[in-house]
Amino acid sequence: MSRNLFPKIGAYKKEWLEVGYNHQVYLEQSGNPDGIPVLYLHGGPGGGSSENHRRYFDPQKYRIIIFDQRGCGQSIPSPSVENNSTEWLIKDIEQIRLHLNVDKWLVVGGSWGTTLAMLYGIAHANRVLGFILRGVFLGTQAEYDWLYSPDGAANFYPEFYQEFLAPLDEADKHKPLQGYQHIFASDNEVAKIAASKAWYLWELRLSTIEHFQLAALHIEDTHQAHCMAELSQHYFSNQCFIPEDFIIDNIDKISAIPAIIIHGRYDMVCQLTHAHRLTNAWQNASLQILPQAGHSGFERQTIDAICKATDVMVNFLKEHNE
């Protein structure tokens, strides 16, 4: 039987946590304060959290912890790429764990959130009970090329790719990441907003196979678009601040931790081949391929798979921690 999201719930606590160098991250808790701690890591970089992310988890069984990564969402300041790197985000997660007095937690992420989840696990394996990862992204050059070069996803959506390139000068269109960097480094606020919408629209169009009629006028939250575009460009231009193939090369540090990996067969943002490669290298991971899903965390098959995975994991963790 297909599962829906759990019912809407409010957060029982919201706060802004000082994490250093003038950054405050928005942090919330919902569900059962005495339940199994679960940390949800949103995508992007820069995507921000959603109240619907709470709804992947049974609120009677989980203590649901969600935050906006530094520089985006409700975190302060945002958008901001100052003192913003993968190393900082890992430190922020560990500071959150200590602040909330959590010994170990289940770590769940989508898209870029899977990258960050695994990198946190590699750095702090003894603090992770398990992983649920949807839409794997390993932070490799092949993945950046797939998203932004003319020889990747552009071959499937050539008309949308042309709109993605439209804000750029002709000289920059052969190097889109560099071109967008020029815009975001400028003082032209109008150009920044137009570029943010074009960047965000490109990813939205790639993300789902259930909704196709997306245009710039559908992007009403310009702040979210700006955070997503500027932070993603910042991270991807710097190869996510990790060496090539860092996750696979260090998979032994987390390979004993149980992981459920969920990936849409028609994911046009994060190719299935990378999730397959990861699973082959990870001795305690299982891969569930969704036959009629893309990249979005809110397509029907993906919602069903994540909610079932959180139920499976809570039962597994209770059984193995009694």
Report yes or no: 272 and 265 within 8 Å, Cβ to Cβ.
yes
Q: How far apart are CA 17 and CA 209, in angstroms?
A: 37
- CB-count exposure of residue 69 (10 Å: 0-12, 13-18, 19+): buried
C-alpha gyration radius of the chain: 19
Residue 221 among the catalytic residues: no
Selecting among 53, 226, 274, 295, the annotated active-site residue is 295
- Smallest CA-to-CA distance from 93 within 17, 148, 166, 157 is with 17
With vertex at residue 240, the alpha carbon angle to CA 53 and CA 216, rounded to the nearest 5 degrees, is 55
Place of tokens 């889109």: 176
Selecting among 267, 274, 296, 304, the annotated active-site residue is 267
Selecting among 75, 78, 111, 207, the annotated active-site residue is 111
What is the CB neighbour count within 10 angstroms for residue 155? Answer: 11
Taking each helix axis from N to C terminus, what angle separates 141-148 and 176-184, rounded to the nearest 10 degrees? 80
CA 106 from centroid of its chain's CA atoms: 16
Written as one string, the DSSP assignment of 258-287 is: -EEEEEETT-SSS-HHHHHHHHHH-TTEEE
Residue 111 among the catalytic residues: yes
Q: How far apart are CA 254 and CA 250, in angstroms?
A: 8
Residue 267 among the catalytic residues: yes
Q: Is 40 helix (H, G, I), strand (E, B) or coil?
A: strand
Give the residue numbers marked as catalytic. 111, 267, 295
